[in-house]
Amino acid sequence: MQNRVSATEAVRSFSDLLNRIRYRGEEFVIERGGEAICRMTPATTPKRVTGRELAAIIRELPHPDTGFAKDVQDAIKRQGRVPRSRWGR
């Protein structure tokens, strides 16, 4: 359920809003002048991917065309040399 809150009220009770979002899972739509500006919802944790799943994802990616490697090499050649560090690094 989404609660509608004015921007002024959100500022005055920001800590309370964060607690309600985190511990109760509530959602809020923040309004300014009666117009919805943003939505505050609980953050979701990113999905963890196993190595096997990652390998499968990579296999499904489109392969670069035949000229891609040459384009990369040409771009590298066009790059200027990095000046030598005065500190010997």
Q: What is the pLDDT of residues 16-67, one digit of tens each?
A: 999 999 999 999 999 999 999 999 999 987 788 999 999 999 999 998 888 9
Mean local confidence (pLDDT), 1-30? 93
Residue 75's H or E segment, with its range, is helix 68-78
Q: What pLDDT shows up at residue 19?
A: 95
> CB-side exposure of 53: number of CA atoms within 13 Å?
4
Q: Where do the DSSP E strands lie in the chain?
A: 2-6, 27-32, 35-40
The domains of the chain are located at 2-40
With 0.85 as the threshold, say if the pTM is over it: no
Alpha-carbon distance of 87 to 74, in angstroms, equals 30
Nearest to 4 by CA among 36, 45, 46: 36
